[in-house]
């Protein structure tokens, strides 16, 4: 079907949108979303009838401070993300089901619940999905004549933006005061009953709905998201479990994107590789992003995806191997150039230049990104990595020191600083940096491992051995860690202990040839 946007007014109607080529509900919805969404742009070319995901990257709740971890609006978030995260959005509910597309006004009153009960009072089907029937007499503990008996007050609470613009949340969450107590998420109960506590509201919900109310089924997902925000190392299994049972595409995309911090884990790569067939384009885009972290070639399956939001992530993941004149590299560069007036666009162009081995251009774009956003630890970090790759290790350390100053609770930044300090023969500084990384994240394997090697180098053998023992306990399937322990013990004349460590490496990997050599040599010396 031709795009309905016209070059001149339509004869007979004077409309710039064709009335002869009828728009689908999805096309009308995507047109609304082009403004009513928090998103990044790929170009200026969106026209009525186009798909949103071919021109924009929708912002999902993948970082703290933007959305609440249950998907509720927090910052300047607008409507589209919340609706995509909702079960109503999954069922096919669009803007048109509630709003007049020309005026934006509601089609039916919300004050007496007529709007919501049009479907939830009759079980009417939307896109073949029947709405659950709600009995308002028992659905809420609030008096039927009160504000609390209005559907929108509980499921679409209002927040004030710019001091004069009240907006209703479109994630359609059920209020769950228990999560307010645990995680500080607002809930509609105490937003209305301002004089009451979250503990009071949680007890009231428990008393009326029972110990396992309907909203409890989403608590684990919310906890997983919040714990991922906090960088908790033990949250990965919960993220994976929530992903496996999640029905809403935008939530699958969110959960998979949050696994990006563990992209090096084989289990995460398996999840991402399987997600290339996910029906939701945002989930496929998240899969490409995660696979790109480790150069997983399976991302190549998405280079011809029908949605640009997916292709761009796959192109970014594979940018080092895409020929400069390939359609993928051209598309990726065009989108980055469109964003070139922002630090994020400048950073993308710097990385594209690196992939083309164009050092001069990369330096130019890094300089612009630093000028535009000197307070971003990410800009300083990426520039430091670039400088280190060019043999400018002293400058790299300076940039990384600025990064840790800006984000002192980021363990990975301290770790990278330590590596740079080793390059500059600053062993005491490197030990201090590894120590800081491990204070923040005690199970940070790479920091533990490198601290072990450095401790041995500076004559602190017992500390080095303890670090390697801890590494071995944290990664029980990794044969290289006990092998490294065996080498260190052997090097220091502790042959019996070296033989035991080598035997452990062989238990984990019977084909580990170097471990077998150490075992045989250490056994001879230890007689």
306 and 267 assigned to the same domain:
yes
Name the CA radius of gyration of the chain, rounded: 28
User: In the predicted model, what is the mean pLDDT of residues 285-314?
Assistant: 95
> Is residue 9 one of the residues assigned to a domain?
no
214 and 79 assigned to the same domain:
yes
- Tell me phi and psi for residue 99, to 5 degrees: -115, 145
186 and 260 assigned to the same domain:
no
> Is residue 122 one of the residues assigned to a domain?
yes
Residue 127 predicted with pLDDT over 90:
no
Using an 8 Å Cβ cutoff, are 171 and 71 in contact?
yes
> Is residue 450 one of the residues assigned to a domain?
no
More confident residue, 527 or 218: 218
pLDDT, tens digit, 9 for 90 and up, residues 436-448: 999 998 989 999 9
> Is residue 344 one of the residues assigned to a domain?
no
Q: Residue by residue, what is the 3-state secondary structure of 22-65?
A: CCCHHHHHHHHHCCCECEEECCCCCCCCCCHHHCEEECCCCCCC
Contacts of 515 (CB under 8 A, 6+ apart): 479, 482, 483, 486, 502, 505, 506, 509
Q: What is the mean pLDDT of the chain?
A: 93
| Whole-number pLDDT of residue 65 | 93
Q: What's the domain count of the chain?
A: 2
How crowded is residue 137: how many other Cβ atoms within 10 Å of its Cβ?
8
pLDDT, tens digit, 9 for 90 and up, residues 470-495: 999 988 889 999 999 999 999 999 99
Closest CA to 353 of 392, 382, 324, 391: 324
96 and 173 assigned to the same domain:
yes
67 and 181 assigned to the same domain:
yes
Element (H, E) at 488: helix 480-491
Distance in angstroms (rounded) separating the CA atoms of residues 113 and 81:
24
User: In the predicted model, what is the mean pLDDT of residues 13-20?
Assistant: 76
Distance in angstroms (rounded) separating the CA atoms of residues 527 and 516:
17
141 and 192 assigned to the same domain:
yes
pLDDT, tens digit, 9 for 90 and up, residues 178-212: 999 999 999 999 999 999 999 999 999 999 999 88
310 and 204 assigned to the same domain:
no
pTM, whole model, 2 decimals? 0.84
159 and 114 assigned to the same domain:
yes
Residue where one domain finishes, among candidates 172, 203, 224: 224
Residue 527 predicted with pLDDT over 70:
no
> Is residue 293 one of the residues assigned to a domain?
yes
- Out of 19-33, 80-94, 427-441, pick the least confident: 19-33
CA atoms within 13 A on the CB side of 234: 2
Positive or negative: CA dihedral 56, 58, 63, 64: positive
Using an 8 Å Cβ cutoff, are 137 and 100 in contact?
no
Residue where one domain finishes, among candidates 224, 258, 288: 224
> Is residue 209 one of the residues assigned to a domain?
yes
CA atoms within 13 A on the CB side of 53: 18
Distance in angstroms (rounded) separating the CA atoms of residues 206 and 310:
42
For residue 314, the enclosing domain spans 233-329
Residue 508 predicted with pLDDT over 90:
yes
User: In the predicted model, what is the mean pLDDT of residues 278-306?
Assistant: 95
79 and 218 assigned to the same domain:
yes
What DSSP string runs through 256-320?
HHHGGGGTTSHHHHHHHHHGGG-SSHHHHHHHHHHHHTTT-GGGGGGTT-SSHHHHHHHHHHTTT
Percent above pLDDT 90 for the chain: 84
């Amino acid at each position: 079907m031709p795009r309905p946007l016209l070059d001149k007014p339509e004869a007979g109607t004077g409309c710039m949108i064709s009335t002869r080529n009828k728009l689908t509900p999805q096309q009308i919805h995507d047109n609304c979303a082009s403004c009513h969404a928090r998103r990044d742009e790929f170009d200026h070319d969106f026209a009525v009838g186009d798909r949103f995901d071919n021109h924009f990257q929708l912002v999902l709740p993948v970082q703290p401070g933007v959305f609440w971890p249950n998907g509720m609006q927090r910052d300047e978030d607008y409507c589209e993300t919340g609706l995509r995260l909702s079960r109503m959005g999954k069922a096919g509910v669009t803007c048109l089901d509630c709003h007049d597309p020309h005026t934006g006004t509601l089609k039916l009153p919300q004050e007496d619940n007529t709007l919501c009960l049009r479907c939830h009072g009759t079980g009417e089907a939307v896109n073949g999905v029947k709405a659950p029937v709600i009995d308002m007499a028992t659905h809420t503990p609030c008096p039927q004549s009160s504000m609390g008996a209005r559907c929108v007050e509980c499921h679409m609470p209002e927040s004030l933006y710019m001091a004069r613009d009240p907006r209703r949340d479109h994630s359609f969450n059920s209020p769950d005061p228990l999560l307010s107590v645990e995680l500080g998420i607002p809930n509609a109960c105490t937003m209305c009953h301002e004089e009451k506590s979250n503990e009071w509201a949680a007890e009231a919900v428990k008393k009326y709905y029972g110990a396992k109310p309907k909203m409890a089924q989403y608590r684990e997902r919310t906890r997983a998201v919040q714990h991922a925000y906090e960088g908790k190392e033990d949250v990965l299994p919960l993220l994976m479990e929530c992903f496996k049972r999640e029905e809403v595409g935008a939530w699958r995309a969110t959960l998979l994107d949050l696994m990006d911090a563990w992209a090096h884990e084989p289990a995460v790569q398996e999840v991402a590789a399987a997600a290339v067939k996910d029906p939701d384009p945002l989930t496929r885009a998240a899969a490409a992003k995660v696979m790109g972290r480790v150069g997983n070639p399976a991302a190549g399956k998405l280079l011809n995806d029908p949605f640009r939001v997916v292709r761009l992530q796959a192109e970014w993941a594979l940018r080092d191997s895409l020929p400069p004149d390939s359609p993928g590299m051209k598309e990726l560069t065009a989108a980055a150039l469109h964003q070139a007036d922002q630090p994020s666009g400048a950073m993308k162009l710097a990385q594209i230049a690196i992939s083309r081995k164009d050092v001069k251009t990369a330096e130019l774009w890094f300089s612009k990104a630093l000028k535009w956003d000197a307070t971003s630890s990410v800009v300083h970090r990426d520039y430091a990595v670039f400088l280190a790759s060019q043999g400018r290790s002293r400058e790299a350390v300076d940039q990384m020191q600025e990064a840790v100053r800006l984000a002192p609770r980021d363990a990975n930044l301290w770790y990278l600083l330590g590596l740079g300090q080793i390059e500059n023969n600053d062993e005491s500084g490197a030990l201090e940096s590894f120590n800081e990384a491990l204070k923040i994240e005690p199970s940070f394997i790479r920091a533990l491992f490198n601290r072990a090697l450095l401790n041995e180098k500076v004559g602190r053998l017992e500390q080095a051995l303890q670090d390697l023992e801890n590494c071995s306990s944290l990664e029980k399937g990794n044969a290289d860690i006990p092998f490294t322990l065996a080498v260190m013990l052997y090097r220091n004349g502790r042959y019996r202990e070296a033989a035991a460590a080598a035997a452990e490496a062989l238990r984990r990997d019977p084909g580990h040839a170097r471990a077998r050599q150490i075992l045989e040599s250490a056994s001879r010396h230890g007689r």
